[in-house]
Structure 1
């Protein structure tokens, strides 16, 4: 499972709004259009929706005004491009960023991004119903934005893409025009090749791009070079991202760290309490730490990033082995097994639900290990030998607590219950007494049961129309409790 580990400098850069910039100035405006298409009628994709959400969140943290579209048809995509074009600026230092994840094909050397709610069977369908990738570059050139970045994660390798590629006579995407001076175009893989959709939250290319974007002090070329290195390594050379650039000068998503003080100059001060707390939270990478940080510093320098980390954690599926101290969830009872000694184990890759549902067991990771609450189930688990590899032990089990019986002597003021006649005694003077150890029940056990109430001043017995015969004694036993009054 992917984990982001941005450095402290990144957090400072994000919180301090040291965002997109070139070597000589900060960007005047930062516009982005992010599209993720996944729910196709012909062949759904697993990752583009997640890719687009994570990219949109990352760009917002980098200071972009983001237009985010998900599962968009052609009309929505074209409308989004119009809004995107209107948001751009010609002002020096302005930046425009376009990101697309989904199906994409080339027809006669022209790339098309495929919208939803259409059926594509041939090259003619792609040309008539798709959105030209060149249309994106055209909007950017028309707006006159000095820096334009286009990222296409659109050549997914799957049966639909392969069958459509055969129908139109080409796989993957084609090389695109330069987009004029100041353009940077990146493909998830080399021209004519296909990319992996990924078997985790994000596609392979976007996963590594998101990680590289969060590294401070990298030029745009270095960001995409690191992305390429990560993809090549993970795919074992099967996927090679491809870039084209006509940029001038250096461009940074996050500015570089300031140079150290010269000899004789004051040294950098030590981190304050908030920064130290944040460093600890980052090192732990535990949602409980981020929540604690927000409790302590709700408007702190790293509050925005802490919220982003929590959003990422909430959208990421959890398994039992991923739980860290302070984390809680719910799981299916059949993910547990009992060994011959009575020890309880959880399957390590068991999915942990974040919300309670009927039939699920509560599980929490505490300092001494996993704790499972089985008080709400009557599930019986088969006993077997020691679990195979992949199971994690349960440190403690919370079992149903049997309610303690209420006795006459333990009743509290205002409490009512039912008492058997054997719990009452009448002395020679006619006074009524209660046996202190007699059980008081919520419902009558017999027709001649009587209701007893504990008041602030004593005990009151409520009599029905039933004839009651109580044991008579000369003197009540020691410890018996007097009845204040009888009521009919």
Structure 2
């Protein structure tokens, strides 16, 4: 079992361009990751300096060999091919001072890697439309990103593609230069986070399979009015699941039990053959997935059938990328 750390940030109360669902996204993601055994540092509606401070503290808390999740829901922009995440104090955001007013995603990932993690999973639900003031003429506003007209100085639509360092997965809620939706079937979460919450706590499932299932559900969701297509960049060369039947995480080569599952099987497996499942509200007998994880640990209070035992082999000797 490896240490599991997560930083979860949700910003929506922006001074210039407020949005919705980001705090709910962060709150629900925090609850889910806590139930999965992650040490979570949550933050909502914080300015840039607060984002910088909590990110620094989080990085210092990471132990070597950890599985690390960095999750952000809020406004993000790209400028000259670099992705930035915005704090809520965006009323004076200028391109010429962007490096000192917004969080550089690539710098965050590189800083996390100085702690020698086993896996870095960076999830950016931040492909929302945004406008930035033109620093050459304060009276002129850059073209709206919603209309897809990037300015000549390098401000682009949505987020830019990124290179993933070794043992890293970078997930965008939508493909590069596109937008993501803040609406979903539950009227609480963004479209991508709604489906990610349904899949991320699936036990005994490779993280790559989890992300593929999430992306597939987003694309076929009837609420996907923007034709949103989640995208990811990965340099991970091993299969890792975030949670096992006993709450542990391990390389897939060590697992027993269920193995890979189809789209519907992981959802039913979480209830262990509960009598009723509603795919639209993602509930079993009016219980959400996260409370259900707790019920499973209480002598399977609502479980109708005990799953087969999971037998673990000897751990493999994995070579660290950073010595």
What's the TM-score once normalised by structure 2's chain length? 0.70
Which one of the candidate residues 278, 298, 305 is aligned to 1:300? Answer: 298
Mapped partners of 2:107, 2:81: distance in 1: 14
CA drift of 1:76 comes to: 1.1
In 2, Cα distance between equivalents of 1:286 and 1:247 = 34
- CA RMSD, 1 decimal: 3.2
Contact 1:95/1:147, CA 8 A, preserved across alignment = yes
For 1:301 and 1:136, the matched residues in 2 are separated by: 41
From 28, 32, 47, the equivalent of 1:54 is: 28
Q: Is the 8 A contact 1:36 1:52 kept in 2?
A: yes
Cα distance in 2 for partners of 1:249, 1:166 equals 38
Give 3-state SS (helix, strand or coil) of 2:114's partner: helix
Correspondences of 1:314-393 after superposition (within 5 Å)? none
- Of residues 179, 182, 188, the one that matches 2:167 is 182
**Counterpart secondary structure, 1:137:** helix
SS at match of 1:143: coil
CA displacement, residues 113-136 of structure 1 (integer Å, 9 cap, x when unaligned): 011123255432433311101121
Residues 1:112 and 2:84 aligned together: yes
The match for 2:118 is 146
Structure-2 residue corresponding to 1:170:
156
Kindly provide the CA deviation profile for residues 383-406 of structure 1, in whole angstroms up to 9, marking residues without a partner as x. Answer: xxxxxxxxxxxxxxxxxxxxxxxx
**Shift in CA distance, 204/162, structure 1 to aligned 2, threshold 3 Å:** farther
Flag the 1:132–1:90 CA change in 2: closer, same or farther, 3 A. same
Counterpart for residue 226 of structure 1: 213
Question: Deviation of residue 166 (structure 1)?
Answer: 4.2
TM-score normalised according to structure 1 size: 0.47
The whole-number CA distance in structure 2 between the counterparts of 1:220 and 1:100 is: 18
Partner of 1:30: 4
- Point out the structure with max Rg over C-alpha: 1
Structure in which a larger fraction of residues adopt strand: 1
Q: Are residues 1:196 and 2:196 paired?
A: no
Cα separation, 2, equivalents of 1:120 and 1:189: 27
Structure 1 consecutive aligned stretches of length 4 or more whose deviation exceeds 4 Å: 158-162, 164-168, 278-282
Q: Which has the higher contact order (CA 8 A, sep 6+)?
A: 2
Long gaps (5+) in structure 2: 133-141, 246-254, 259-270, 278-282, 302-323
- The CA distance in 1 between the partners of 2:96 and 2:23, in whole Å, is 27
> Gaps (5+ residues) in structure 1?
1-25, 261-274, 304-488
Contact persistence 1:38–1:48 (CA under 8 A): yes
Task: Name the CA distance, whole Å, in 2 between partners of 1:82 and 1:252.
Answer: 27
**Would the aligned equivalents of 2:26 and 2:42 in 1 still touch at CA under 8 Å?**
yes
Matched, 1:215 2:202: yes
